[in-house]
Amino acid sequence: MDTASLIDDYFMLDMGLTPEERAVRDTIRHFVEVEVRPNAGRWWLEGVFPTELIPRLADLGVFGAMLPEEYGGAGLSAVGYGLIMQELERGDSGLRSLASVQSSLAMFAVYRFGSESQKLHYLPAMARGEMIGCFGLTEPDAGSDPGAMRTRALKTESGYVISGAKRWITNGNLAQMAVVWAKDDEGVIRGFIVPVESPGFRAKKIETKASMRMSVTSELYLDDVEVPQTALLPASRGLGSPLACLTQARYGIVWGVVGAALDCLAEVAEYVKTRVAFGRPLARTQLIQERLVDMLSRIVAMQLRAFQLGRLYQAGTLRPPQVSLAKRDNARAALEVARLAREILGGNGISVDYGPIRHMLNLETVDTYEGTYEVHTLAVGRDLLQENAF
Amino acid sequence: MKILVMVKQVPDTATRIRINSDGTGIATDGIKWIINPYDEFALEEALRLREKFGGEVVAVALGPSRVEEAIRQSLAMGADRAVHIKTEAELDASLVAEALGAVAREEGFDLILTGKQAVDDDAAQVGARLAVVLGVPQVTVVLKLEVDAESRRVRAERELEGASEMVEAPLPAVLTAQRGLNEPRYPTLPNIMKAKRKPVTVKTLEELGVGTVLQARVMALTLPSERPAGRILEGEPEETVRELVRLLHEEAKVL
């Protein structure tokens, strides 16, 4: 077999996929290869998300792909959804983030906690990409400890008035709707659907990022935003509700980062075969071989975690701490793979003409968001030892 | 309008080909299979015609069970249903055309589209032979296609060496697609999922009354001989250029 196919699937996990899962993966991969990869470096430098991709992604059926057809989804399996995330992130983590937040956070929140009329109103439009969603949980002073949020939703006669600020909100300035988490009069966390045109709602793009530059990240300001009673996600109650959404998104990350790592290794493997130093290709040196085999070994471990997590998801036996462990280890492993790739490319490695530095800088975000390495360590520690050390 | 699209499953063009142990075919283990790219153009054109005129697009493929993947992909791109002529036998172009022709006769059709050739054996036989089997007009290597549903005629632009030819033909007819006819769509996720539920009729050669006695068979298949390593001339540019010209003249005999 040739190097490229060996990198993609060293342990032949392909045989465990259904024909539909393979077809979905190949479709998204082809799309990303043709439409995204050639421009990713430029988009990243320019710090813009190419919004022309949104209708294309919607046409492909990426948004809410796991949801039932009546809500605009494709009823895709968890493994199939994971493969979409992998292929999008092969292009760029920012592209995957847009799709992750739309599907796993915003649409999932409506699907899981929304009323039937909310689902029918929002989900098909979001699946068609006509409406982009964002997810407001993190605050300037509440990151790893979301229970300490200050945003309040106080009951009025006709609904709620929401005030507070949210930070690091992916899609903030692209979105037409925000799922905002706030504490009610009793201090219970509830979810609200807030249209961005609501008076008092403002999104401000964060311009200073040196990571995830293709993704739009914003601050949200809610200054006495009045919403009707119908904005409340009726089934949401307590911190467990947003955390259930995060479990979905983290599941997608477990798969997504595999794609970034695969892209790094594929690029480096090509490079070391042609780059000559000291009279021989880099590939014929022991130091380089060790590094590439190291990268491959990490990727295989990442793939095995992702596949098994997908099977647990589909069996309905997935436990959130398992997602925590996999998110923690896959994000970190992908970051390490990208760093190794960057290093092997030498001087060329610092240019976005090559993928690894872009992936590497993006993955610094992925390693942090949706639960830092440390937060997931403590989540697994609590599960393992039945002692809460948070 | 009822359109049949003849689809062949071929090894991915990026696959590294190895010869099998008896030296008459390729080793198929570990190969990634795709739809013949020219057949994809044919399928895309059929889907566009259906979008314009309504009707039905039926994909027809011949081969062992692995061919199901190409069939599913055709359905995911948008074909309404499919016929799988299931056989393990190696057929020549004449038998393939007979088998496809038998399905076409059973199905009935206004138009048959297929690729101008398959990228595995490059024979470019099946489309033309199929038209002969069915006794209908054929237009091959089509670059541009206009269908007039009212008058039931097609106008097709064909690619010739250094020229193009405009051809008119009545329906029903067989047309073979050339690269450039269109840009095939991506199968969308909902369509990939729906493809599972679309009907696929399985036929055997026996049912179609087609035998397996070959008129032509592959005697031997060999890989192209490896290119000898290049030579690098060393020295001052003036000398090396002179030496290069001498070699091109005396050894390569191209100057």
Q: Which of A285, A267, A264 is nearest to A337 (CA)?
A: A264
Q: Is position B219 within any domain? A: no
Question: CB-based contact (8 Å) between B30 and chain A?
Answer: yes
- Nearest by CB to residue B189, choosing from A5, A19, A76, is A76
Q: Which residues of A touch B184 (CB under 8 A)?
A: none
d(CA A126, CA A193): 13
Q: Is position B217 within any domain? A: no
pLDDT score at A198: 97
B2-7 vs B56-63, strand pairing mode: parallel
B204 and B244, same domain (yes or no): no
B245 and B146, same domain (yes or no): no
- Distance to chain B for A359, nearest Cα, Å: 26
Sign of dihedral through CA atoms A79, A85, A89, A93? negative
Domain of residue B234: give its range: 225-255
pLDDT score at B31: 84
B204 and B229, same domain (yes or no): no
pLDDT score at B32: 85
CA of A191: how far to CAs of A122, A151, B39, B197, in Å?
15, 11, 50, 37
pLDDT score at A163: 97
Q: Is position B111 within any domain? A: yes
B186 and B243, same domain (yes or no): no
B191 and B147, same domain (yes or no): yes
Say yes or no for a CB contact (<8 Å) between B188 and A27. yes
Q: Is position B214 within any domain? A: no
B154 and B181, same domain (yes or no): yes
- Nearest by CB to residue B186, choosing from A2, A27, A69, is A27
Q: Which of A352, A340, A270, A271 is nearest to A299 (CA)?
A: A340
- Nearest by CB to residue B190, choosing from A1, A2, A74, is A74
Q: Is position B215 within any domain? A: no
Contact criterion met (CB below 8 Å) for A233 and A190: yes
Question: CB-based contact (8 Å) between B196 and chain A?
Answer: yes
B201 and B231, same domain (yes or no): no
Q: Is position B216 within any domain? A: no
* Residue spans of chain B under pLDDT 70: none
Q: Is position B218 within any domain? A: no
Q: Is position B56 within any domain? A: yes
pLDDT score at A82: 98
For chain A, the first-to-last Cα distance in angstroms comes to 48
B13 and B105, same domain (yes or no): yes
pLDDT score at B217: 85
Q: How many domains does the structure of chain B reveal?
A: 2
- The ipTM estimated for the assembled molecules is 0.80
Say yes or no for a CB contact (<8 Å) between B72 and A61. no
**pTM here?**
0.88
Residue of B nearest to A63 (CA): B189
- Count other Cβ atoms within 10 Å, centred on residue B128: 17
CA of A178: how far to CAs of A137, B25, B156, in Å?
10, 59, 52
Q: Which residues of B touch A102 (CB under 8 A)?
A: none
Catalytic residues of A, which ones? 370
B34 and B81, same domain (yes or no): yes
Contact criterion met (CB below 8 Å) for A211 and A141: no
Q: Which residues of B touch A60 (CB under 8 A)?
A: 186, 188-189
B109 and B59, same domain (yes or no): yes
- Count other Cβ atoms within 10 Å, centred on residue B73: 26
B150 and B247, same domain (yes or no): no
pLDDT score at B225: 85
Both tokens of B86, joined, read: 């299931």
Question: CB-based contact (8 Å) between B17 and chain A?
Answer: no
Say yes or no for a CB contact (<8 Å) between B188 and A59. yes
- Window 73-112 of B: residues touching A by CB (8 A cutoff) are 73, 76
Contact criterion met (CB below 8 Å) for B48 and B182: yes
Q: Which residues of B touch A22 (CB under 8 A)?
A: 69
- Window 27-66 of A: residues touching B by CB (8 A cutoff) are 27, 30-31, 59-62, 65
pLDDT score at A262: 98
B122 and B232, same domain (yes or no): no
pLDDT score at B226: 83
- Nearest by CB to residue A23, choosing from B16, B32, B73, is B73
Question: CB-based contact (8 Å) between A74 and chain B?
Answer: yes
Question: CB-based contact (8 Å) between B31 and chain A?
Answer: no
Q: What is the DSSP string of A184-229?
A: -TTS-EEEEEEETTSTTEEEEE----SS-TTS-EEEEEEEEEEEEG
- Nearest by CB to residue B189, choosing from A1, A2, A60, is A60
Q: Which residues of A touch B9 (CB under 8 A)?
A: none
Question: CB-based contact (8 Å) between A316 and chain B?
Answer: no
CATH, residue B35: 3.40.50.620
Q: Which of A131, A116, A106, A368 is nearest to A245 (CA)?
A: A106
Q: Which residues of A touch B189 (CB under 8 A)?
A: 24, 27, 60-62, 65, 74, 76, 80, 84
Q: Which residues of B touch A5 (CB under 8 A)?
A: 32
Say yes or no for a CB contact (<8 Å) between A2 and B16. yes
* Residue spans of chain A under pLDDT 70: none
Say yes or no for a CB contact (<8 Å) between B68 and A75. no
pLDDT score at A57: 96
